[in-house]
Amino acid sequence: MSATARTTQPAAASRIKVSFEFFPPKNGDMESQLWESITRLAPFEPEFVSVTYGAGGSTKMPTLNTVSRISAETTLSPAAHLTCVGSPREVVDGVAREFRSVGVKHFVALRGDPPEGVGSAYRPHEGGYANAAELVAGLRGIDDFEISVAAYPEKHPESSDFATDIDMLKRKIDAGATRAITQFFFDNDTYERYVERVRRAGIYVPIVPGILPIHNFGQVARFAALCGTSMPDWLARRFDGLEKDPETRALVAVAMAAEQVTDLVERGVDDFHFYTMNRAQLVYAICHLLGLRGNGGTTSSGDKPGSVGAAA
């Protein structure tokens, strides 16, 4: 990867597609932050915006409320995460139908982490979907949804090897998934090698790289250790000494993510999924550096460009 971040050429920027992930708010302050972020990023006209879903349906109502409001008050296309851990099939199917009733036509189908947390042993619910491949098939039996699934450039931490991991991805695609979104990563060579493995396995759906701007290096490093994502030494050195300097840390985070995405664009990638952590500032700056610009249009509320309603 080049040491210098470069803006993309106009022709390349015009091909770039983005999507954004948010999580449902837990209180009023977090809800305000979420909707400020959605308002800020909406003018980039993302392909979709996804909303996460807690294990065993622990955030069912906040997720349902969030995707419902996105559907009703904006021109954005909401995608609801859906997990199968800790619930029987009829409950999961019922949740999918509830989401459909508020306008959701796209699901991000995931097995989900065990209730005890990442790293704990996974046990399928008796009478539930055993894995994400079965969940995809179940969703296909309900309606002709668009379905995205997860992919792991460094393999899922529970997979014994890459062959096993890619076999599971193929099962998800064969069941009806139309896109794979990767776990975040920081080494573009790792992503490129993974895509090569996937294509050799006969998987040809888009493998969209998941990009995580580093708001807090310590938190990201701890999460990366749990989910099997490598944190290169050179990456740690760039954030060294910035623990009490949030302004400089944000500048470094934007430069790092823009450098990563620009390098991927030069390798032929034109579709990116940003894990926003419900914060717009870094993602907005990265998109701007990539040459993307807000469309200047308005949503259904008509208040201002990218508006998502007066209640934001």
Cβ 157 vs Cβ 121: under 8 Å: no
Q: Which one from 21, 134, 154, 259 is the annotated catalytic residue?
A: 21
How far is CA 234 from each of CA 3, 201, 230, 237, 306, rounded to the nearest angstrom?
Answer: 11, 32, 11, 5, 37
Cβ 125 vs Cβ 96: under 8 Å: no
Single-letter residue type at 172 = K
Please state, in angstroms and rounded to a whole number, the distance separating the CA atoms of residues 156 and 161: 9
Hey, what long-range contacts does 288-291 have (CB within 8 A, 24 or more apart)? Answer: 289/5, 289/7, 289/254, 289/258, 289/262, 290/7, 290/8, 290/13, 290/16, 290/258, 290/261, 290/262, 290/265, 291/7, 291/8, 291/9, 291/10, 291/12, 291/13, 291/14, 291/16
Containing H/E element for 283?
helix 281-289
Q: Which alpha helices (DSSP H) does 120-174 contain, by range? A: 132-142, 162-174
Residues 6+ apart with CB under 8 A from 144: none
Count of residues for the chain?
312
Task: Give residue for tokens 């098939």.
Answer: 137
DSSP assigned state of 305? B
* Selection from 293, 282, 248, 280 nearest residue 37 by Cα: 280
Is 21 an annotated catalytic residue?
Answer: yes
Helix (H, G, I), strand (E, B) or coil at 312: coil
The catalytic residues are: 21
